[in-house]
């Protein structure tokens, strides 16, 4: 089995300022393979479209990957600061993440969940800086309801070929590729001792976070509203 990346020590060192994350982080995932995502599709979904300006590009995720791979004092301080910023700037979303993961999940799935939720937040911060509105609790509720409705519509249609996460992958392809990469590598590395249902629960929390942050990105001045957004 490959060694865990260096940033494991940043999550587990004594005295780390990890807020509500601290007691959950144990074994992080290892990056082995990337999932391929289809980009051509016809929209038929209850999930609101993500506007083009809100998409997170690959270079932002590479920057996050690089920052999490460092293992020195400066990197550890930056990680502490990132946890604190997430809790301070997105309190409702941070609390919802904690609620979603504060369940009897196995420790590997739980560590994966907290790693991914922080990485997603860092990617949005890297891509959009201060141009992200604070996500309110009712907005998170609405996003969860849209995802649940989309899942129900797809279960009810035997001819439906796409799952709800396929739709989200087409809206935020680089984010979902990053998430799938770490989920796949974690399942491979812990094939005999991880609960797949727990991983699915973690995955759903991450999907809601991705959608909620996507909708919170502020529209740039003068950016035209797409027809699909007007109809959503």
Highest mean pLDDT among 43-57, 129-143, 159-173: 129-143
pTM over 0.85: no
User: Percentage of the chain with pLDDT > 70?
Assistant: 78
CB 79 within 8 A of CB 71: no
- Quote the pLDDT of residue 14: 44
Stretch 194-198: mean pLDDT:
93
- Quote the pLDDT of residue 82: 85
Higher pLDDT, 30 or 172: 172
Identify which of 18, 20, 210 has the alpha carbon closest to the alpha carbon of residue 116: 210
CB 115 within 8 A of CB 29: yes
- Which residues face 132 on adjacent strands? 217
* The pair of three-digit structure tokens given for residue 213, joined into one six-digit string: 């942050």
* The pair of three-digit structure tokens given for residue 187, joined into one six-digit string: 């399942």
**Res 223 pLDDT > 90:** no
Stretch 50-62: mean pLDDT:
95
Going by the DSSP 8-state scheme, the letter that residue 211 receives in this structure is H
- Quote the pLDDT of residue 43: 55
Stretch 139-158: mean pLDDT:
93
Higher pLDDT, 25 or 155: 155
**Res 26 pLDDT > 90:** no
Per residue in 58-76, pLDDT tens?
A: 999 999 988 877 777 777 7
- Quote the pLDDT of residue 23: 34
Residue 214 contacts by C-beta under 8 Å, 6 or more apart in sequence? 50, 54, 55, 171, 172
- Quote the pLDDT of residue 226: 61
DSSP 8-57: HHHHHSTT---GGGTTT---------------------SSPPPPGGGPPP
């Amino acid at each position: 089995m490959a060694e865990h990346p260096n940033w494991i020590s940043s999550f587990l060192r004594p005295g780390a300022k990890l807020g509500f994350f601290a007691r959950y982080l144990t074994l992080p995932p290892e990056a082995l393979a990337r999932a391929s995502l289809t980009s051509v599709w016809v929209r038929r979904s209850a999930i609101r479209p993500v506007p083009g300006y809100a998409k997170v590009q690959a270079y932002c995720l590479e920057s996050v990957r690089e920052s999490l791979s460092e293992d020195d004092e400066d990197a550890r301080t930056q990680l502490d600061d990132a946890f604190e910023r997430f809790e301070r700037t997105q309190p409702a979303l941070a609390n919802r993440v904690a609620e979603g993961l504060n369940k009897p999940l196995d420790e590997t799935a739980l560590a994966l969940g907290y790693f991914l939720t922080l990485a997603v937040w860092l990617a949005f911060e890297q891509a959009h800086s201060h141009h992200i509105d604070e996500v309110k609790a009712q907005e998170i509720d609405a996003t969860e309801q849209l995802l649940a409705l989309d899942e129900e519509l797809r279960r009810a249609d035997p001819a439906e070929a796409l799952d709800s996460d396929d739709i989200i992958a087409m809206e935020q392809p680089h984010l979902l590729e990053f998430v799938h990469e770490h989920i796949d590598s974690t399942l491979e590395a812990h094939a005999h001792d991880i609960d797949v249902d727990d991983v699915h629960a973690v995955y759903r929390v991450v999907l809601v976070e991705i959608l909620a942050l996507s909708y919170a990105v502020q529209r740039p001045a003068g950016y035209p509203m797409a027809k699909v957004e007007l109809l959503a």
